[in-house]
Amino acid sequence: MAIRIFESASNDVSENAIISFEPATGKELWRAECGDVELAVSNARQAWPQWAATSATTRIELMRRFANEVRKQEEPFAELIARETGKPLWETRTEVSAVIGKVDISVTAYAERTGQRKLDSALQGTAALRHKPHGVMAVLGPYNFPAHLPNGHIVPALIAGNTVILKPSEKTPAVAEFLVKCFHTAGVPKDVLQLLIGGPDEGKALVAHDDIDGVLFTGSANAGIAINKALAENPGKIVALEMGGNNPLVLWDTPKLNDAAALIVQSAFTTAGQRCTAARRLIVKSSMYDATIETLTRLTERIIIGAPFDDPQPFMGTVIDEHAADQLTEAYLGLMSDGGKPITHMRRPHGDLPFVTPGIIDTTAMTSRPDAEIFGPLLQVIRVDDFDEAIAEANNTRFGLSASLVGGSPKDYSRFWANIRAGIVNWNRPTNGASSAAPFGGIGLSGNHRPAAFYAADYCAYPVASTEMEQPRASVGVGFN
């Protein structure tokens, strides 16, 4: 968690500092001044021609060295992510593995998605397809995966020959600093990848800067929409928006209720529900309702919630900060006062720290349910009578990131797949835990049709079509005296 200091709290804190605190202890972890947007953009612009002219082989080699650097520091990196986010260590270790894995996947994607093609013809010359980098890219990151998600933009952008300014979440600046240092230690020049500390104001200034060629954003729909608006008159800037979800999980006929409940818990409560792909709505067949709720409640009550380094390790840690915890409990109480029936109460077991227990609430009877992303461990349950109603309910959202069918027949799944509006559609698998080797993005309020992960290569370079001959040769042979 982090706060911005607007007034000097003590002599050594300036007006424009970002201070990061460990959510699980409340202790200060890190502090720094906000960065200089003008300076960062000017450095990135100057560094770009040389970086773009560096061979792709060299750029890829530097990415491999970066992966090795992270490998060497796997444990301290995972520990820092755990301290700054409140996520359990077992989970932050998987985040560091994803950072390392991103390099090989991005190298393959660069070749597959933006590779070169040539078609030779004696008469027409060569028709060539090549790709060029855009220039200076701003990467704006979220707090829930403070290393893996910005890295998922940084690596493909650098491979393609762009320079990058990372403006991380103001809530997780220490992790961003560690990540950027790994690139620099690996040999990536300082101005080719820069860290710009700051909050939304620095993000806005960066987005609006004339010398930025692209914005690669991961975060909330509200901020993504603000970025889209800010760039409405700049169609030339490439913008990739990876935003949130209000993701449905439909539970249909299955004899394997224990497995189904485990998939629901994994989907809704991993990372304390702070995943864009987390299941927010469980849509369940009426005839299965009682047994499902009993099994799900039993499993949810067994979830261990604790600090990142606890032994045994907890299933989930804190949410990011007190403000987020307050918003979650307010959202839960709001649903209750609007007619939701609590199944498992959301509680704050340590009032002064942002631990939140998973809440499950039946919102079937509510006449209008808020179509908002409630970014934490809160699951709404909606009971339906038939499969068409289940699909309609699943699609009853402006978002469209991920959706899962648990149970059902192959025929049910093919109906589900065909009718559901989402970028990730799974069967008997959780809504979250998407693969970096596949495209990752959604429709509606979840994104702007620029999926990340394997398809990030697409927005990091633009295609250039050429027809080429070594000597001029006229092609118009008729119509002259």
Ligand X SMILES: NC(=O)C1=CN([C@@H]2O[C@H](COP(=O)(O)OP(=O)(O)OC[C@H]3O[C@@H](n4cnc5c(N)ncnc54)[C@H](O)[C@@H]3O)[C@@H](O)[C@H]2O)C=CC1
Where do contacts with ligand X occur on this chain (CB under 6 A)?
Answer: 140-145, 149, 167-170, 199-200, 203-204, 207, 218-220, 223, 226-227, 242-244, 276, 373, 375, 452
- Contact window for ligand LFNQLBSZ (CB under 6 A) among 11-19, 154-162, 203-211, 433-441: 433-441
Q: Print the binding letters for residues 93-132 with ligand LFNQLBSZ: x by CB under 6 A, - otherwise.
A: ----------------------------------------
- Residue with smaller CB distance to ligand LFNQLBSZ, 342 or 433: 433
Amino acid at 27: K
Q: Could you tell me the two tokens for 443?
A: 């429709």
Note whether 447 and 244 are within 8 A (CB). Answer: no
Q: Shortest distance, CB of residue 127 to ligand X, whole angstroms?
A: 36
Q: Which does 220 bind (CB under 5 to 8 A by kind): ligand LFNQLBSZ, ligand X, none?
A: ligand X
- Residue with smaller CB distance to ligand LFNQLBSZ, 114 or 432: 432
Q: Shortest distance, CB of residue 390 to ligand LFNQLBSZ, whole angstroms?
A: 22
Q: Does 423 bind ligand LFNQLBSZ (CB under 6 A)?
A: no
Q: Does 140 bind ligand LFNQLBSZ (CB under 6 A)?
A: no
Q: Does 141 bind ligand LFNQLBSZ (CB under 6 A)?
A: no
With tokens 């520091």, the residue in question is 73
Catalytic residues: 242
- Residue with smaller CB distance to ligand LFNQLBSZ, 26 or 433: 433
Residues 238-297 binding ligand LFNQLBSZ (CB under 6 A) are: 275-277
Q: How far apart are CA 251 and CA 415, in angstroms?
A: 14
With tokens 């995943």, the residue in question is 275
Note whether 229 and 204 are within 8 A (CB). Answer: no
Q: Shortest distance, CB of residue 273 to ligand LFNQLBSZ, whole angstroms?
A: 10
- Contact window for ligand LFNQLBSZ (CB under 6 A) among 4-12, 205-213, 430-438, 458-466: 430-438
Query: Interface residues with ligand LFNQLBSZ (CB under 6 A)?
Result: 144-145, 152, 275-277, 432-434, 436, 440, 452-453
